[in-house]
Amino acid sequence: MREIVLDTETTGINPRDGHRIIEIGALELMHHLPTGKELHIYINPEREIDDGAVAVHGLTSSFLSDKPVFAEIVDEFLSFIGEAPLVIHNASFDMGFINAELDKIQRPPLPMDRAIDTLAMARKKFPGAQANLDALCRRFEIDNSHRDLHGALVDADLLASVYVELLGGRQPGLSLGADSKTDIPVAVITADSASSMLQIDRDHKPVRPIRPHTPSDEEQAAHDAFLAKLNDPIWLKT
């Protein structure tokens, strides 16, 4: 199943007050695993940015002055998200801004039921606890030390990890790799009791590396001594 983890940064709080999107960050998940496909766009909002918003994300009007307007990037954005569900933290905020931008250029809105709201998931799973992105990163021990300011792609990347944890998390010993020929993510389970690995192939069948079967000299001597103690073993009968 394909999903898109999405975040935006804006000029202010409410699109009804004329505030606009200035940054979009999105990344693709396939069966809850990142594929490496990303979309990151800065947008000229054609208006000033509230000081409070600049303090949150650090994006200024001068930085955005030469960036494309939303109408110029909308096709790229819609093509990237396709028909996939959208994983968003506080979905009503981002979806409200996206649909306001689409309305300005007479494009149909995105249905709200496409959004998977991780804020609602977190509040349901941990009632009464803080549910912002930083708090969830702390809860799940996700490293967000590089997040000095909000950034759409940085936040989308962190949210992808939080989303997996909210779904139940990765099983102990489960790490992620990719098929070298197809770049399709595959699971690799490391056995705690040995250095061997159990891989899941593309048909979802476990494949264990071949074990060495040649006995050591000590093992062979012990085996021969055991056989010598047997009385009239059946394999010697003709």
Q: Which of 19, 57, 89, 150 is flagged as catalytic?
A: 150
Q: How far apart are CA 109 and CA 102, in angstroms?
A: 6
The residue among 96, 9, 21, 15 whose CA lies nearest residue 55 is 9
Q: What's the token pair of residue 188?
A: 């690799």
- Tens of each residue's pLDDT in the chain, 238 residues: 999 999 999 999 999 999 999 999 999 999 999 999 999 999 999 999 999 999 889 899 999 999 999 999 999 999 999 999 999 999 999 999 999 999 999 999 999 999 999 999 999 999 999 999 999 999 999 988 877 667 888 999 999 999 999 999 764 444 445 454 555 555 444 434 333 344 444 444 445 555 556 777 787 888 777 777 777 777 666 5
Q: How far apart are CA 46 and CA 105, in angstroms?
A: 14
Q: How far apart are CA 228 and CA 231, in angstroms?
A: 8
Contact present, 93 and 121 (Cβ < 8 Å): no
Residue 213: active-site member? no
Question: pTM value?
Answer: 0.71
Domains in the chain, ordered, with CATH?
2-169 (3.30.420.10), 170-212 (no CATH)
Q: DSSP labels for 7-38?
A: EEEESSS-GGGT--EEEEEEEEEETTEEEEEE
